[in-house]
Amino acid sequence: MSGPVLAVSDLTTEFFTKAGTVRAVNGVSFVLNRGEILGLVGESGSGKSVTGFSLLGLIEAPGRITGGKVLLGGEDLVGMKPAAIRSLRGRRIAMVFQDPMMTLNPVLSIVTQMGLAITAHEKASKEEIRRRAAAALTKVGIPDAARRLDDFPHQFSGGMRQRVAIATALLHQPEVIIADEPTTALDVSIQAQILAEVRKLVAETGTAFIWISHDLATIAALSDRIAVMYAGRIVEEGPTEAVLTAPRHPYTAGLLASLPAQGAPGEALKQIPGGMPALGNLPPGCAFAPRCERAAEICKTPPEMTRAGTRGHRCWRPIGLEGVAA
């Protein structure tokens, strides 16, 4: 299997509301390879979750994908007929959400819910469903899986519930799993367990992950590559270690500097002044310019994504590359 598993080019999603049109995803492009974990980082309102939903075609009115391509193994998901895209969801591309207590139906047993996910795509007997569900639960590290099949969501702890959600996503061995803030609602120690579990899964199955989060620390620990989003656009991307040790975009640098771990004890925490602009009210040119200490006249024109090797940055005045013509 050659070539990337997922190739997104110029994806644009807009919401047409009474208050105006909001462009939540603004020409986002990236590529995902087999067995790769891509971390999509950004604050609330940056458009990262909407990007995730757009990939699965789950954007509902008043929103709509208005441009771009999402190629899953060569097939373009944008503009696909609903029946066709439904057959792909869960089977070749799946999603895990933030709060498993909200995503799992409290009145149905685990095996019932997983069974529904299985029979959505193929016929399966009751025994087969139980077998596959138990196998999936065991794979994500839930002990005594066969006996827990008939339990209800509230009988599991938070971390376990999220594992159940991940197990459900894995049922059809999809090529891509999109995880939207999956560990944000969990304790730090449980988070670490889930991250370890995911790394193991990726190594075993070769599933590619898109890990969406606002938590730089988790992304740093887990992902192979990282893409930083701001106001609907990707402003920097590249191998995680490279980007985090030598950020090129001032926003990335700002995020890193504001991590509590970065500050000396007793020192005031560094903040990026100001706030992200509302997506319906973007300034012309670079969206980060109003808050950027490196901003100049040229930043009034929207910067393009400049690629250099495995990295990319969307900035006229990138850090560490002064002297390199934009």
Partner 1 sequence: MLAFLIQRVSQAVIVALAMSLLVFLGVYAIGNPIDALISPDATQQIRAETIARYGLDQPLWRQYLNFLGNILHGDFGKSFVFNIPVLELILSRLPATLELTLMAVIGATLIGVPLGMYAGYRPNSPIAKLIMALSIFGFSVPTFWIGLVLILVFAVHFGVLPAGGRGDTVRVLGVEWSFLTLDGLKHLFLPALNLSLFKMSLMIRLARAGTREIMLTDTVKFARAAGLSDRTILIRHVLRLISIPIVTVFGLEFASTLAFAVVTETIFSWPGVGKLIIDSITALDRPVMVAYLVLVAILFMLINLLVDLAYALLDPRLRARGAA
Question: Which DSSP helix (H) or strand (E) runs through 53?
Answer: helix 48-56
* Minimal distance, residue 110 CB to partner 1, in Å: 11
Pick the closer one to partner 1 by CB: 89 or 317.
89
Q: How crowded is residue 265: how many other Cβ atoms within 10 Å of its Cβ?
A: 5
Distance CA 110, CA 149 (A): 6
Pick the closer one to partner 1 by CB: 102 or 269.
102
Whether residue 164 contacts residue 137, with contact meaning beta carbons closer than 8 Å, is answered with yes
- Encoded amino acid at 37, one letter: I
Pick the closer one to partner 1 by CB: 161 or 313.
161
Pick the closer one to partner 1 by CB: 29 or 103.
103
Pick the closer one to partner 1 by CB: 107 or 325.
107
Q: CB within 8 A of 85, min separation 6: which ones?
A: 56, 57, 77
* Minimal distance, residue 126 CB to partner 1, in Å: 15
| Residues at the site binding partner 1, with contacts judged by CB under 8 A | 56, 58, 86-91, 94-95, 97, 99, 102-109, 112, 116-117, 120-121, 152, 154-155, 165, 168-169
* Minimal distance, residue 107 CB to partner 1, in Å: 5
Q: In what order do the strands lie in the sheet with 37-41?
A: 93-96, 176-180, 208-213, 37-41, 225-230, 233-239, 311-313, 306-308
Q: In what order do the strands lie in the sheet with 75-76?
A: 20-32, 6-17, 63-72, 75-76
* Minimal distance, residue 44 CB to partner 1, in Å: 17
* Minimal distance, residue 210 CB to partner 1, in Å: 13
